[in-house]
Amino acid sequence: MTAAAVVEHRYRPRGAAKRLLACRDSEVLLSGPAGTGKSRACLEKLHLMCLLNPGMRGLIVRKTQVSMTNTALVTFREHVAAESIAAGHVRWFGGSQQEAACYRYTNGSVINVGGMDKPTKIMSSEYDIVYVQEAIELTETDWEAITTRLRNGKVSFQQIIADTNPDTATHWLKKRCDKGVTTMIESRHEDNPVLVREDGTRTEVGEAYISKLDALTGVRRLRLRDGLWVAAEGQIYEDWTPAIHHIDRFDIPDDWTRWWSVDFGFTNPFVLQCWAEDHDGRLYLYREIYRTRRLVEDHAKDILRIVAPEGEWREPRPRAVICDHDAEDRATLERHLGLGTVAAKKTVSDGIQAVQARWRLAGDGKPRLFLLRDSLVERDPELEAAAKPLSTVDEVPGYVWDVSEGKPPKETPVKENDHGVDALRYMVAERDLGGRPRVRFLGG
């Protein structure tokens, strides 16, 4: 019999990561700013438990399966289980009609992988430990459904562990921790050896990364740099709730009305949003270009490559293209799209009120405004490097009233990181405050 290969793996947990490895509580949340090593710690624990407990069943889950491929699975494959994979102790199985995709261990342990958007396969199994990445994306119903699957019994304790950046203090996950149902372990940048050495000095990577976080402002700094569960002071859209308004993608029927809204920019982001309106008048943002330093004509070509490759439209044409008032940019956009445009209704106060009304739950318990996950066409590397919002979803929580001296309260928003929310307001104002849209097709 050939002896199994000896595997050496080095991971020295500190602070919150070390406490997570030792914790046996049934529900554990690792909460902290961006870049503290939360995901790595959770994956290290899951991998270690699989190695120590033959036949154990684990699960890595996120709200959507597609969002996991570039995050948790990369960290697991390249850092956590790299040596075990190379030695043949862990192998990837891509899934089948009957089984979920998973990592299979030679000792009989398994880690299934999936998203709550496609829960059938992952929720049909029983587990000893579940790792939830970016837990604030889930609803409490999702979370509680997962806990019912913790009954495999191959380990002396059954556990759901999760990581998250903070959200509002009223988020269901924070409330669950406040009640003592879930144990919160708070991580810091000092816990991550990639960023901070044991003597407390920053590494070169840490100096660059933390400096970017130090440059953040408002609620984004409080959450992503300081790790605080807070709402933005003076937040305009107080009814915005990601678990309700930021929903999973779905196939949009062809008979739903389409609209496009545009906020021009070059140094600041250019934003083009594609919206669908259902038969009850609800609006769904399903595609977004959010990009700096690109010409209007190039943005037009980008969107046409998506919706009308080789000149053939693959989805209904927009009923109106609602634009910021820049005449030159509108003319350029019209020329390259072959579509007419409509000047946006830009009055701020009534536009904000119209958006606020759509965020609120209607009589059927649903809001009338939704943003679909994974709507961003591409990430802007310059904005990402500057730790600035990359999409409208990123802007909404930090959209606040200007409370500068001399400014009337709740009258004027702060003019910063508001490009996507402006385009969103144009859409709602056109639909709820405007008249019949004027639309024309050019050329052809």
Q: Is residue 8 part of a domain?
A: no
Supply the range of the domain harboring residue 349. Answer: 242-432
Residue 64 confidence (pLDDT): 84
Give how many domains the chain has, as a whole number: 2
Q: Is residue 227 part of a domain?
A: no
Residue 444 confidence (pLDDT): 46
Shared domain check, 188 and 278: no
Shared domain check, 427 and 334: yes
Last residue of a domain, one of 211, 234, 267: 211
Q: What is the CATH number of the domain that holds 57?
A: 3.40.50.300
How do residues 388-430 score in pLDDT, each as one tens digit? 899 999 999 889 998 877 777 778 899 999 999 999 999 999 9
**pLDDT band, very low/low/confident/very high, at 118 (cuts 50, 70, 90):** confident
Above 70 in pLDDT, residue 4? Answer: no
Shared domain check, 206 and 71: yes
Q: What is the CATH number of the domain that holds 392?
A: 3.30.420.280
- Complete edge-to-edge strand list for the sheet that includes strand 90-93: 90-93, 102-105, 110-115, 57-62, 129-132, 159-164, 27-31, 183-186
**pLDDT band, very low/low/confident/very high, at 295 (cuts 50, 70, 90):** very high
Shared domain check, 329 and 249: yes
Last residue of a domain, one of 195, 211, 227: 211
Q: Is residue 220 part of a domain?
A: no
Q: Are 290 and 376 in contact (CB under 8 A)?
A: yes
Q: Is residue 228 part of a domain?
A: no
Shared domain check, 70 and 202: yes
Q: Is residue 439 part of a domain?
A: no
Report the pLDDT averaged over residues 4-31: 92
Burial tier of 355 (Cβ tally within 10 Å: 0-12, 13-18, 19+): buried
Shared domain check, 157 and 41: yes
Token pair, residue 260, equals 């496009």
Which ranges of 379-418 would DSSP assign to H, the alpha helix?
A: 381-385, 392-395
Report the pLDDT averaged over residues 296-304: 97
How do residues 157-198 score in pLDDT, each as one tens digit? 999 999 999 988 888 999 999 999 999 999 999 999 999 999
Residue 326 confidence (pLDDT): 92
Shared domain check, 352 and 285: yes
Shared domain check, 256 and 154: no
Report the pLDDT averaged over residues 53-79: 89
Torsions phi, psi for 384 (to 5 deg): -65, -40
Above 70 in pLDDT, residue 435? Answer: no
Q: Is residue 10 part of a domain?
A: no
Cβ neighbours around 408 below 10 Å, total: 9
Closest CA to 287 of 396, 390, 372: 372
Last residue of a domain, one of 162, 192, 211: 211
Mean per-residue pLDDT over the chain, rounded: 92
Q: Are 46 and 129 in contact (CB under 8 A)?
A: yes
Task: Indicate if the alpha-carbon torsion angle 181, 182, 183, 187 is positive or negative.
Answer: negative
Q: Is residue 410 part of a domain?
A: yes
Torsions phi, psi for 103 (to 5 deg): -100, 130
Q: Is residue 272 part of a domain?
A: yes
How do residues 120-155 score in pLDDT, each as one tens digit? 889 999 999 999 999 998 989 999 999 999 999 999
Shared domain check, 116 and 44: yes
Above 60 in pLDDT, residue 1? Answer: no
Question: Looking at residue 263, what DSSP letter applies?
Answer: E
Shared domain check, 335 and 422: yes
Shared domain check, 253 and 376: yes
